[in-house]
Amino acid sequence: MLEEVEHWLTRRSWSVADRPLDRLMVAKAARGTTVSVVLPALNEEETVGEIVSVIRRELMERVRLVDELVVVDSGSTDRTAAVAAAAGARVEDRDAILPRLPALPGKGEVLWRSLLVTSGDVVCFVDADLRRFSADFVSGIVGPLLTDQDMQFVKAMYDRPLLQPAAGHPDDRSARDDRDDGSDRGDGDDGSDRGDRGGQGSLGGQGGRVTELVARPLLNLHWPRLAGFVQPLGGEYAARRSLLERLPFPVGYGVELGLLVDALHTAGLDALGQVDVGVRIHRHQDERALGRMAAAIYRTAQLRLSRAHLVRPELTQFERGENGFVPRTHAVDTEERPPVREIAEYTAGRAA
């Protein structure tokens, strides 16, 4: 590890306990900073309501840390939108945001569009499939942006134990998760508690497979200044709007890596940080879905390394059929949205 990174770890890595809520409220009031929380969601009726309820109760009613709580629904066929609204979120339909530009499938597309329907000076992204959600996920990563004007981009770090859902358990949804469709998944791996829970078996300490096998090697080899990030692909992070509106957004699974790399080049390492928020509990994706995710992340990295001599953006995987293994070829995310400040509707809305 670079000496610069070792120094960064001692200065820009914190615990959520380092900034109590009362300190955050004083800093927020002193600077008049506004905070928006965005949950990108697709078919998350089982979890989105609890997350919204916790944020409203702990961070909007008990204290006024969060000014705006928005769920951006990307075509759910279940009751995600209704559950989120009933819990107290403002729900926005992805396809109704900037309708002149047809929506592309992918999580990054949803995050990018969310900037047009939120107004906070600080924007905090939270995945909508988390279980046993704690308000620390929000207050922890928003905190450094409220207390330190030099901070621009903060990621959550956490333990991420892998949990294997039993057949028939509500989390056993691999068929539905086997796509990149604008949902809320970050790394796509599991998180859970370290013991068995409700028909689920813990495989403690094995979470974050795409991080360990793809993202971390890429960052260490090509962007070693980012080697200190514990969860580079995690879906919980906060940033100043003034930074986010300058960054391009990969539309799919590469959005977390793309934003992290671009934030480094735009704001510098010392403007980036991470906060330990404990344990992240969410659901499993199968190996084929993770393979496509890995390919998208690699493609995102490659685009940032060179604009020439790019590999063909396809990934072939194999499934066993009646007559043996059958190849299945999938397109790899290649689209990226431009910095949102280049969109006329965004600049017009901000000027209004």
**Using one digit for the tens of pLDDT, what is the confidence trace for 52-96?**
999 999 999 999 999 999 999 999 999 999 999 999 999 999 999
Tokens of 335: 């689209």
Query: How distant, in Å, are the alpha carbons of 140, 195, 201, 293, 316 from that of 163?
Result: 24, 9, 6, 19, 27
pTM assigned to the model = 0.84
Sign of CA dihedral 222, 226, 231, 232: negative
Q: CA–CA separation, 289 vs 260, rounded Å?
A: 22
pLDDT digits (tens, 9 = 90+) for 336-352: 899 999 999 999 998 87
Element of type H or E holding 56: helix 48-56
**pLDDT of the residue at 316:** 65
100 Cβ neighbours under 8 A, 6+ residues apart: none
Average pLDDT over residues 248-261: 96
Q: CA–CA separation, 241 vs 36, rounded Å?
A: 10
**pLDDT of the residue at 309:** 46
Q: What is the number of helices (H) and of strands (E) in the chain?
A: 13, 14
**pLDDT of the residue at 339:** 95
Q: CA–CA separation, 87 vs 40, rounded Å?
A: 15
6, 225 Cβ separation under 8 angstroms: no
Q: CA–CA separation, 164 vs 184, rounded Å?
A: 19
Q: How many CB atoms lie within 10 A of CB 222?
A: 13
The mean of the pLDDT values for the chain is 86
Using pLDDT thresholds of 50, 70 and 90, give the confidence band for residue 209.
Answer: confident
**pLDDT of the residue at 190:** 37
**pLDDT of the residue at 164:** 52
Query: How distant, in Å, are the alpha carbons of 53, 107, 153 from that of 251?
Result: 28, 6, 19
Which residue type is seen at 251? V
